[in-house]
Amino acid sequence: MDWQIQLITLYDMVCKHYREELFVHCQRFSPYCDLFFTDEEVITLFLFGVMSKHRQIRTLYDNADRHLRD
């Protein structure tokens, strides 16, 4: 399975669980948060980075920026 299909599948699963009950546990509460991304997208990017064996926030950001900028 290529990484695009993995990412789409993960996003679909995160959205499903987020709507059911996950939103209660992981909302962004900061009044200064950038709402350019939805909570579901942020969770998906984080989990996809962890699945790709990236553990540091900067590495997760660089990986997402490199692959998903388009």
What pLDDT digit, counting tens, does each position of 14-66 carry? 999 988 888 777 766 566 666 677 888 888 888 888 888 877 888 888 877 87
Are 48 and 10 within 8 A, CB to CB? yes
Which pLDDT score, from 0 to 100, does residue 10 have? 93
The residue with greater pLDDT, 10 or 30, is: 10
Task: Evaluate if residue 13 carries a pLDDT over 70.
Answer: yes
Whether residue 28 lies inside any domain: the answer is no
Q: Which domain holds residue 59?
A: 3-19+36-68
Phi, psi dihedrals of residue 30, rounded to the nearest 5°: -70, 135
Question: Pick the residue with more confidence: 47 or 69?
Answer: 47
What distance in Å separates the CA atoms of residue 65 and residue 24, rounded to the nearest whole number? Answer: 28
- Please check whether residue 25 lies inside any domain of the structure: no
- The count of structural domains within the chain is 1
